[in-house]
Structure formats: C-alpha cells, structure tokens
Structure 1
Amino acid sequence: MTPSDSAPASPTPGRMAGRIAVVTGASRGIGRAVAKRFAVEGAHVVAVARTQAALEDLDDEVQAAGAQPLMLVPEDLTDYEKIDQMGAALFQRFGRLDVLVGNAGYLGRLGPVGHTPPEMFQQVMDINLTANWRLIRSLDPLLRQSEAGRAIFVTSGVGHEARAYWGAYAISKAALEMMVGVYAAELLKTNVKVNLINPGRTRTDMRREAYPGENPETLPLPDAHAEAFVRLASPECQDHGALIDLPSLAESEG
C-alpha cells in the first residue's frame, strides 16, 4: 500500500468527504468552527493548536456530531522544526494534503508602533507571518500532490488599511497578504488554489481583547463564517489569489 492509498474514506457524507485538511489555531474561535465544520462535512481534519485539552474537547464535539475523530497536533507553531516534522508525517501517512487553513494568529499589544516591545513585535511576526511561511514551505509539496489542493489564510481588515495603534498585528497581516499573493502567482499553472479570507467582526477572544468595551452579543459567532471556508476548500472553487472580504460580501448581499 502506498502512502496515498492509506488516506481514510470518510464515514460522513458531505462536500469534503475524503479530503485531508490541516487547520491551525483549531482549539478556539474561527479555527475551531472551521475544523468542526470540515469534519462534519466528511474531511479528515488535522487540528493544530497549542492546547491539548482544548483539542480533545473539540474532538469530543466532532465525534458527538457523528464525524470521524480528528488527528490532534498539540504544537506551538513557532517551533518551526515541528512544522517540518508535520509535513513529513503527513506525507508518510497520506502522500498528499488537500486543504491548508492558516488561521492561527496573535494580536500582541495595541498602541503606538514605536512603543511595541521588541520581543512582542517579534512574537507577532513569528506567529502571524513566519509560521505561515513555514507551513507553505513544509506543506506545498503535499498540496501539489492533491488533485485539487486548496490553501486558505486568514487576514484582517487592518492588513490592507493603515489603522493607528494596530502596530505589529496590522504589519504582520499586510506582510501575510503580500506573501500569499506571491505564493498564488507561483501556482498559476498547478491544481492548487490559494486565497485569503477576512472574516471581519467576530465573537472571539482576540476581538474581546482588542475591543474590551464592545458588546459581544452584537457580533456573529465563528460558526457563521464556516460556510465560506468550506466553499474555498472545495475542489469546485476556482477562486485564486483572491481576498474574500466577508463584511463586504454581507453588505452587497444585504
């Protein structure tokens, strides 16, 4: 049996049946919602996050919903050698990767850009930018082995507009958008489609940290965005090099 032959057939019917998907930042917020939705849609999900207990809770939810168990990877994405090891392990087990969702992010401290402590600036870059580059470096060969490889990276409105006091976070997202654009341009003649998604205002821990005075009841739950990720992850989706801005789409549809 070759590694690709060992890819599991999903017992759950759905639009992602049999597809192998890596989701980072999967223990909470948007990553958690996406990982669960992918699993319910039939994908074999590799859930990556730092907290083992939170990943186990997610796995319990997924199995209670009738989906197959997740593959849990409790790793810190700034341990870059672990990302390389994950790529090697996925190759050995499956021989390919169908979907990568680069969702994990870190806000850091908001305030004047010149007041950001150097170690915090570096940590924001390490998680929001460099970890995604390392994921591309490690997993791109596996995405190319898929008949319809899909990569989705999560950005923010502050990544494409200069907003005072958002400092390292905004800078990291702007750099991420450029990196993903370059990566997409390099894949024009392949079966891999790469896109960015801006979920907009969402009821997450990061949003609460950034806007402590905001009423969370006025914000959509992370689950509200899962459908957009399923669409971008599907073999039928032909978007490539796009920035899917969910707030703008909602306004146009409204």
Structure 2
Amino acid sequence: MSGEFKDRIIMVTGASDGIGQQVAAALGEAGASVIALGRNEDALQQTQERIEELGGRCLCIPFNLNDFDNYGKLFLALKDQVPHLDGLVHCAGEIERCSPLQYVKPKDFRKMLDIHLTAPNLLTQIMFPLLKRAESASVIFTTCDMVDEDKANWHAYGMAKRALAYAASMWQMEHPEKPYRFNTLNPGRVRTKLFKRTYGGEHPEMVPTASSVTPAYLYLLSDDSKDVRGQTLHARDLLETKQ
C-alpha cells in the first residue's frame, strides 16, 4: 500500500479520533499528504505523529466544524499553500445519547443537523475550488445504518445521516461530466467512542475496530473507483468484493 497515494493531498475531518483518525493514518501510510481537521489539538498531534511514523506527511488544523463563520478563513489559509485537493473525507460526528424525538432539546437537535449534514456540505462547498484543481477528486460522506434502515431514538443524528445520501447524489447530478465524484459510505458499527455511548448494551469486542473499514475509504479515494459516482455504499460490501 505504501506509495499508492503519492503526491495526493487529502483532507480528513474528525481526524482526531475514531474512523477519521484511522483513515488519516492509512492515507499517510499509503503516501498521501493528509490535511487533518479536528477539535482536539492534543489528539490531532497524536494523529500527526502516527502518520509521520508511518512515513507520511500531515498538516493538522484544529477546527470546529460548527463555526461556519470561519470556513472562509480556513479556505484562505489553504488556497495558496495547497495546490489542489484530491480527496475530502467527512468523518466528523458526535452524539451524546440516543433519545426519543419528544425529549430532544432544540439546541441538541440543531447541533446534530449542523455537524452531520450542514458541515460536510458547506465544507465541500468552500473547498470546491481546490477539489476542481485536481485531475480527479473524490468526496466521501460518512453515513450510518440509518441510511437505509429505520431505527427509533436517533433523532436528528439519524435524519442527517440519511439525508447525506441525497446530498451526495445531488452533488453528483449537478456535476455529471466532471472528473470529481461524490459518494456516501456506511462503515457499519465499529469500535469507536460514539459506539460505546450509543450501544452501551453491546460489548465493544463484538464489533470490528475502526481500522477494519479503512480499505473501503481508500478504495473510494483511489483510481479504482473513478466510475463510482453518486452512490450510497456499504463498507462490508466493498470489503467482501476486495477479498
């Protein structure tokens, strides 16, 4: 895998923990230059150290994706030092607990919509000039089981994750003949802090690690998936195909 993504520059959100951190590390090991976004500066530093230990390069940017007024500043800080973006992977996300809709407070409802739906779409929008500079760019929206399965008690989190599939399809329909593509990936349940908070009754050892799904992300960022456009995919299906 080493060197597979040489000379490619890929931005990963939620890179301070969970799937985002594992995807960032795997990309670094594969030769990519990683732009890692996350809120926790200390955890981002650990991500950078791991990538560099694997032989990759990493630019860590502490950033709160819910601070929409700062998106323009982020772009201005990158536009002259980053020649292009070959990929944008949306992994950032959070949820404190599952709860019936009737009990969700307005601020918590808006927060879930913002981080899981508004943020990935607006970040794609603000970084679009850099994506268009690449020969072929791939944008991945991370969804979850609620993308095609009805489940109670996931309130705005589940709504936002399901809407991402439509968002990716819409982005693609608006750019049908362009060399950039937009897809939604469901990694399934994996061993993260979010899983521990929302599936407290299940032992973490019963689900795969976050690193187990990174090959699905790398596939969608690679040239092998150039014809995969505007689709909603499941990591388990991609991993089974690659075996």
TM-score w.r.t. the length of structure 1 is 0.90
* Superposed CA offset, 1:126-184 (max 9, x none): 10011112112101121111101110110011132221111111111122221121011
Q: Distance in 2 between matches of 1:122 and 1:108?
A: 14
Q: Distance in 2 between matches of 1:73 and 1:85?
A: 12
Of 134, 143, 148 in structure 2, the residue corresponding to residue 155 of structure 1 is 143
Which letter does structure 2 place at the counterpart of 1:24? T
TM-score w.r.t. the length of structure 2 is 0.94
Cα distance 1:246–1:100, how it changes in 2: closer, same or farther (>3 A)? same
Q: Which residue of 1 aligns with 2:186?
A: 198
Q: Which residue of 2 aligns with 1:39?
A: 28
1:212 equivalent in alignment to 2:200: yes
Q: Distance in 1 between matches of 2:215 and 2:236?
A: 14
Which letter does structure 1 place at the counterpart of 2:106? P
1:93 equivalent in alignment to 2:81: yes
SS of 2:79 mapped into structure 1: helix
Q: Distance in 1 between matches of 2:42 and 2:96?
A: 24
Q: Which runs of 5+ in 1 are unaligned?
A: 1-11
Q: Distance in 1 between matches of 2:208 and 2:135?
A: 34
Of 124, 131, 135 in structure 2, the residue corresponding to residue 143 of structure 1 is 131
Cα distance 1:217–1:175, how it changes in 2: closer, same or farther (>3 A)? same
Q: Distance in 1 between matches of 2:128 and 2:144?
A: 23
1:183 equivalent in alignment to 2:167: no
Which letter does structure 2 place at the counterpart of 1:42? G
1:243 equivalent in alignment to 2:232: yes
* Superposed CA offset, 1:212-252 (max 9, x none): 12111111111111111111111342211111112345678
RMSD, aligned α-carbons: 1.8
Task: Verify the 8 A CA contact 2:5 2:27 in the aligned structure 1.
Answer: yes
**Aligned residue pairs, count:** 242
Q: Distance in 1 between matches of 2:95 and 2:71?
A: 21
Q: Which runs of 5+ in 2 are unaligned?
A: none
Of 57, 62, 65 in structure 2, the residue corresponding to residue 74 of structure 1 is 62
* Superposed CA offset, 1:186-231 (max 9, x none): 1211000111110001000001111112111111111111111111
Task: Verify the 8 A CA contact 2:100 2:153 in the aligned structure 1.
Answer: yes
Q: Which residue of 2 aligns with 1:22?
A: 11
Q: Which residue of 2 aligns with 1:4?
A: none
